[in-house]
Amino acid sequence: MFLPTPEDLKKLRLDFNLTQAELASRAGVSQPLIARIESGDVDPRLSTLHKIFNVFDASRKEKIDVRKIMHPSVIHTSSDRSVEEAARIMEEHGYSQMPVIDKGVPVGSISTDQIVHSMTDNDVKKVSHLFVKNIMGDSFPTISPTTDANTVSRILENSTAVLVLEMGKVVGVVTKHDIMKMLRG
């Protein structure tokens, strides 16, 4: 049986961004008791531990900031690059689509489907020299870094990726795969 150490309890509290006072209030105990438990000064009753872990379980189900699951490095292209360069980047990273970002701002997206479609209407050599802006589609949806994962899940029902913006600039990306990894806890 796993019994948490005082350090374990403090780490969990901090992982959920809870102050001692918030944890105490939600668990129905005093803040000084939480402080004494975390410092190892007192051994809590089983009923107190149960209350504390109920708060942790509820917090786990609540809000998970997207910042904790996003990829901070966003593989992308710019609108003034050639389609050939964009295709090479996607192939190199094993992506079927990627965002088009100019100076940190999302302006569209490009996919293998769009490239293949443009090849049916044009000569292959001509397509490779086109600019991305000539065939790109709409940008991926955008969210702030404090958006909760449940909201992102709903957005991803209709999109393959979501870009994370802070002060108007792209700082990360979240995909369906990232949401799925949350199941592993």
For residue range 142-171, list pLDDT tens digits in order.
Answer: 999 888 777 888 899 899 899 999 999 999
Sheet holding 161-166, edge to edge: 142-143, 161-166, 169-175
pLDDT the model gives residue 62: 60
Indicate if 139 and 52 belong to the same structural domain. no
pLDDT given for residue 185 in this prediction: 52
- Please indicate, yes or no, whether residues 86 and 141 belong to a single structural domain of this protein: yes
Q: At 175, list the tokens.
A: 């995909």
Asked whether residue 20 falls in the same domain as residue 90, the answer is no
- Examine the domain organization and report whether 76 and 113 are in the same domain: yes
Kindly state whether residue 83 falls inside one of the protein's structural domains: yes
Q: What is the pTM of this model?
A: 0.64
What confidence score (pLDDT) does residue 106 get? Answer: 96
pLDDT digits (tens, 9 = 90+) for 66-113: 888 898 999 999 999 999 999 999 999 999 999 999 999 999 999 999
Q: What's the pLDDT score for residue 16?
A: 77
Other CB atoms within 10 Å distance of the CB of residue 167: 7
The confidence score (pLDDT) of residue 135 equals 94
Task: Say if residue 31 is in the same domain as residue 83.
Answer: no
The answer to whether residue 1 sits within a structural domain is: no
88 & 159 share domain: yes
Do 46 and 134 fall within a single domain?
Answer: no
Task: Classify residue 41: in a domain, yes or no.
Answer: yes
Q: Same domain for 57 and 120?
A: no
Same domain, 94 and 177: yes
Specify whether the CB–CB gap between 28 and 59 falls below 8 A. Answer: no
Q: What is the DSSP letter of 29?
A: S
**Are residues 97 and 120 located together in one domain of the fold?**
yes
Question: Would you place residue 1 in the very low, low, confident or very high pLDDT band (cuts 50, 70, 90)?
Answer: low
Residue 53 belongs to some domain of the structure: yes
CATH number at residue 35: 1.10.260.40
Same domain membership, residue 82 and residue 57: no
Residues 81 and 161 in one domain: yes
CATH number, domain of 96, equals 3.10.580.10
Helix runs in the chain, H state only: 6-15, 20-27, 31-39, 46-61, 83-93, 112-121, 124-129, 149-156, 176-181
User: What range does the domain containing 52 cover?
Assistant: 6-62
Instruction: Give the chain's domain count.
Output: 2
Question: For residue 157, which of 146, 144, 141, 145 has the smallest C-alpha distance?
Answer: 141
- pLDDT above 80: residue 172: yes
Domain annotation covers residue 86: yes
